[in-house]
A and B are shown apart, each in its own frame.
Chain A
Amino acid sequence: MDESWTRAKGVFATLAGPPVVWLVAFFLIPLGIIWAFSFGENASLTQIAINGTFSNYAHAIKPLYLGIILKSFWFAALTTVLCLVVGFPVAVAITFASEKTKAWLLLLIMLPFWTNLLIRTYALMAVLRTEGYINFTLGFLWNGVAHLAALFGYHAPAFTPLELLHNNFAVVFGLVYVQLPFMVLPLYAALDRLDRSLLEASLDLGAGQLTTFARVVVPMAMPGIVSGVLVTLIPSIGAYLTPDLLGGPSSQMIANVIERQFKTANDWPFGAALSFLLMYMTFVAIAVQAMLARGRRSARA
């Protein structure tokens, strides 16, 4: 394994050529252009002058946009916490299920994850809208209760549907719906590797289920928790479709602002700066995870 490239230069060039050329031409160059644009200005309607200005970044941290960036982060953090709370018991149940049940439960979690994101978001629109299934059910119950109340001479007001769609609640609800499998799978992977005899020892020695959970399971599952948090947090910060379809005017996230700069507002340099701020946030999150992982490894050594 790991033959030196000088031993078979022809083979090396054949293998390396196409992927490297593709990666540079159709991935790194496009990203590089966006990066360059983030230091430029609109010179005319179609020309962008790249003059090394930081004005786009300065613009991006004005209160209006900083607020949107912080809100994106807040939505993503809330989504991550909710996914962790909802997903942990599921991961525990999968881990300690019999082999056959385990396969079915994993399929249960992963099937929605393979369904198109747009379709899942659309399905939520049908559930949450004012004439959607939740409001229909609530209205039905309300009318039932009102009929009953009318028998006793009390006239209840007509049912007013709850506003569940096009607000911040819908965005977080949608993000949790979409991201939950991403959280459960790494948690399960970490819990599955866990040494069960330690749990049994803890329970045998008199610690309750909750103490065992807090002092044994959670510390040992920490790598899985961290990677679950990461794979939930990163796509949530940059989510476009969920806030676009489920959110209202005040629940726009950073990706929606970026889209607007490129598609309607035609301020590409500013959109480019916002894109790179989002990328930097992603890289910081990954770096933090790498540092945590290294810290744990050296602590154990």
Chain B
Amino acid sequence: MTAVAVARKAPPGPLEYLRRWPIQAWLVAVAFFLYAPLITLIAFSFNDSRRNIVWRGFTLKYYAQTFADSDLIAAFGNSLTIAAVSTAVSVALGALTALLLWRFKFPGKPALEGALALPIVVPEICMGVAMLVFFTQVMPWPTTLIWPLNLGAIIISHISFSFSFVAIVIRGRLASFNRELEEAARDLGAGEWRIFWDVIMPHMRPGLVAGALLAFTLSLDDFVITFFTSGPDTTTFPVKVYSMVRFSVTPEVNAASTILIVLTVALTAIALRLQGADVARAEMGEGL
């Protein structure tokens, strides 16, 4: 007890920057800057006032209105559907890409790696207009298709910008694979498929999960590229919210935003938990 008390009173060591008050004040200011807008946004979604500036009491009526808004619910359904389908395809493509780059050397490998980095570095607006032109001039996507097939153009665009990210995550995971396991399986007579499914796949799985969560969040978050590929009947949640916020700040938007914030934060928490468990397992495996 006393030792702790003494340690607390000791002046901060030369590298204990966190115990210096200017740094502490700076951190508090930055945290305020980052969080105050979001926290007020969430708090005022429960505020019983349309002017939305003075606290007039707790209400859930804006949530009720949000859930009663069929356009908004449809847009939300579209967003989740698009995210689910594009995640599934992105993970498949990303896993193939990662396995390809991890296992083989082949002519044109640097070119392929460069091309795969493009979706990550190309400005969103450029990719958005490219997709707009592609889906109006080259491959017009029929908008009269039944749901969810009418979302095809948006889904394709989302896969194009997500699967490179997924490939990077999975490739990182594969780097820690012990190749001797694969050789042992081969020596014991396993075929390519058997080796993939029984030996590589179990090692790759945490990478697949992390990649999937990344692809899901990227898809759910995207506004700019979707803005250029969505039509009047195929709006997503961010595009719908955009049309609502363009001119005014209303409690309904606060409520809708709060729902999306809670959803992304929950997904991120799951991702962190999974990755944390994965790291822990890897450390234990090395310990054995």
Contact = CB atoms under 8 A, between A and B. Distances in A.
Contacts, number: 242
A200 interface: yes
B1 interface: no
Interface residues of B, number: 83
Interface in A156-194: 177, 180
Interface string B215-258: 00100110110001000000000100110011001000110010
Q: Which of B40, B41, B92, B112 is most buried by chain A, counting CB atoms within 10 A of its CB?
A: B41
A34 B223 contact: no
Given A33-B130, A238-B123, A278-B123, A117 B221 contact: yes
Contact of B23 (A89, A115, A120, A126): A89
A108 B33 CA distance: 12
Contacts of A196: 15
Interface string B95-110: 0110110111110000
B58 interface: no
9 contacts: A19-B100, A89-B27, A90-B26, A115-B38, A118-B242, A119-B38, A259-B129, A276-B126, A279-B126
Contacts of B224: 240-241
6 closest Cβ contacts across the A-B interface?
Answer: A238-B123, A123-B37, A30-B134, A30-B130, A5-B106, A15-B100
A226 interface: no
Interface in A1-57: 1-5, 8, 10-12, 14-16, 18-20, 22-23, 26-31, 33-34, 37
B133 A96 contact: no
A277 to B, nearest CB: 10
Interface string A222-238: 00000000000011011
B100 A123 contact: no
Given A117-B223, A123-B40, A200-B14, 11 more contacts: A1-B103, A23-B116, A37-B133, A116-B220, A118-B238, A122-B245, A125-B245, A125-B249, A255-B123, A255-B125, A262-B132
Nearest to A24: B115
B194 interface: no
Interface string B40-70: 1100100000011110000000000000000
Contact of B18 (A101, A122, A126): A101
A28 B104 contact: no
Contacts of A1: 102-103, 179
B104 A5 contact: yes
A92 B99 CA distance: 37
Contact of A237 (B93, B123, B223): B123
A239 B241 CA distance: 18
A90 B238 contact: no
B212 to A, nearest CB: 15
A116 B264 contact: yes
B100 A34 contact: no
B92 A272 contact: no
A295 interface: no
Interface stretch (B143-151, B156-164, B277-285): B156-164
Contacts of B34: 108-109, 112, 177, 180
A6 to B, nearest CB: 9
Contact of A2 (B17, B104, B112, B132): B104
B168 interface: no
A212 B143 CA distance: 62
Contacts of A276: 126
B122 A12 contact: no
B121 interface: yes
B261 A286 contact: no
Interface in A107-151: 108-109, 111-112, 114-120, 122-127, 129, 131-133, 136
A129 B248 CA distance: 10
Contacts of A218: none
Contact of A86 (B30, B127, B245, B254): B30
B280 to A, nearest CB: 14
B260 interface: yes
Nearest to A271: B129
Given A5-B105, A89-B26, A180-B34, A259 B125 contact: yes
